[in-house]
Amino acid sequence: MDTKTKTNTYIANTYGRFDVVAVGGHGSVIVDEAGKEYIDLGSGIAVNSFGVADPVWLAAVTEQASKIQHSSNLYYTKPGADLAEALCARTGMKKVFFSNSGAEANECAIKAARKWAADNKGADCYTIITLENSFHGRTITTLAATGQDVFHKDFTPLTEGFVTAKANDKDSIREAVAANKVAAVMMEAVQGEGGVVPLEKEFIDEVFRLAEENNFLVIFDEVQTGNGRSGKFFAYENFGVTPDIVSTAKGLAGGLPIGATLLGEKVKDTFTPGLHGSTFGANPVCCAAALSVVSRIDEKLLSEVREKSDYVFNTLAGKPGIEGVTGMGLMIGIKTSKDASEVVAKCQENGVLVLKAKDKVRLLPALNIPFDLLKKAVDVIAEAAK
């Protein structure tokens, strides 16, 4: 059997896949089984922060893998400690819990918020408000947090205690806060799966005002927007606010599984031994990879992310067949007159891999994509959208 047939025979049928068998590559170029090369504007859904087989990343991974690949959280390990310190130094957050995915990072954020509320406001203050069109993961609890009914169907009953408000609608969030005993509001600064829709500063400011007035926590889900993607280390920095809890995953370890939940001043001591855990959490190889990634997301790289972002926005906006460009940094949604799937297929045919989010073409290239490859790929997109 070839890989496609074997996949369709033996792997659970949960994904719609593009007709590409990726076997290798270098940087922002992916090579398929037939030897065809693609410019990769998806980076494995915002995961391969420095592209494929990046030499610096590879050295960090192989060095740690050759020392000790795993030891469990029964013992101390240096990569996890170093990474937690680096994340706290970067953000002013106080402590970090490590897990293996975005959904788990959000589960931890939700548990921390409920525990904080139980300790500080009472056991009945467990409601977490999330936003319509949000995406927070695929576990039963993070599905409950996800404000899109299409993901809920046939999986009910979901975890109780979640309420949705309309994104960028101050009245809606005020009403939700007034009607519930609230532990936290959880939101993405740019809704990724929801169609690459940034929140407005005024809306975010109102959430923080309500949090102050009603003593609840603010959680940012930076699973997709984090780790340099928005042109800042975390996307919330673009709004000049300081959340109580931040979850991140996808791009943090540049292609290895990791989740991290950052706990701020108010919640830094909420967890005590036995309240939460993860066997693979703070895995040394994943943490060494992440430490390497985080250390490279400096001001120079971030300013290049912003410059490349401006290039994509300026080049595509107003082109024939392009109705709008949204997003932030290298997280970009393109509304095309043609069906987005048609544009995605055309790009693939012409050697450019792009993604979809709702009815938009979505770009999530590696943070260090070379400008010449980005320019070539943008020309292919413009042509495909015509």
Ligand X SMILES: *Cc1c(COP(=O)(O)O)cnc(C)c1O
Question: What is the smallest separation between the CB atom of 291 and ligand X, expressed in angstroms?
Answer: 19
Q: Are strands 322-328 and 331-336 parallel, antiparallel or unpaired?
A: antiparallel
Q: Do 328 and 231 form a contact (C-beta atoms < 8 A)?
A: yes
Amino acid at 298: D
Question: What is the smallest separation between the CB atom of 326 and ligand X, expressed in angstroms?
Answer: 16
Nearer to ligand X, 110 or 373 (CB): 110
Q: Residues 259-288 vs ligand X: string with x where CB under 6 A?
A: ------------------------------
Would you state the structure tokens that stand for residue 272, as one six-digit string?
């005590």
Considering only residues 176-195, where is the footprint of ligand X by CB under 6 A? 188, 192-193
* 223 counts as binding ligand X under rule CB under 6 A: yes
Considering only residues 91-120, where is the footprint of ligand X by CB under 6 A? 101-103, 106
Nearer to ligand X, 146 or 384 (CB): 146
* 252 counts as binding ligand X under rule CB under 6 A: no
Question: What is the smallest separation between the CB atom of 53 and ligand X, expressed in angstroms?
Answer: 22
Nearer to ligand X, 80 or 226 (CB): 226
Nearer to ligand X, 108 or 373 (CB): 108
Binding range to ligand X, per CB under 6 A, among 3-11, 217-225, 314-322, 342-350:
217-225
> Can you say whether the dihedral through the CA atoms of 200, 206, 208, 214 is positive or negative?
negative
Distances (CA, A) of 166 to 59, 131, 134, 142, 148: 45, 6, 10, 18, 11
E strand or H helix that includes residue 178 = helix 170-179
Closest Cα to residue 258, out of 15, 128, 64? Answer: 64
Question: What is the smallest separation between the CB atom of 245 and ligand X, expressed in angstroms?
Answer: 13
Would you state the structure tokens that stand for residue 68, as one six-digit string?
């000790």
Q: Of residues 221, 251, 258, 369, which one binds ligand X by CB under 6 A? A: 221
* 136 counts as binding ligand X under rule CB under 6 A: yes
Task: Give the whole-angstrom CA distance, residue 283 versus residue 278.
Answer: 10
Total binding residues for ligand X by CB under 6 A? Answer: 15
Read out DSSP for 87-140? HHHHH---EEEEESSHHHHHHHHHHHHHHHHHHHT-TT--EEEEEBT----SSH
Question: What is the smallest separation between the CB atom of 133 and ligand X, expressed in angstroms?
Answer: 11
Question: What is the smallest separation between the CB atom of 145 and ligand X, expressed in angstroms?
Answer: 9
Would you state the structure tokens that stand for residue 95, as one six-digit string?
């402590």
Would you state the structure tokens that stand for residue 350, as one six-digit string?
């012409």
74: how many CB neighbours lie within 10 A of its CB? 5
Binding range to ligand X, per CB under 6 A, among 31-39, 132-140, 155-163, 172-180:
132-140
Q: Of residues 218, 249, 286, 289, which one binds ligand X by CB under 6 A? A: 249
Q: Which residues bind ligand X (CB under 6 A)?
A: 101-103, 106, 135-137, 188, 192-193, 221, 223-224, 249-250
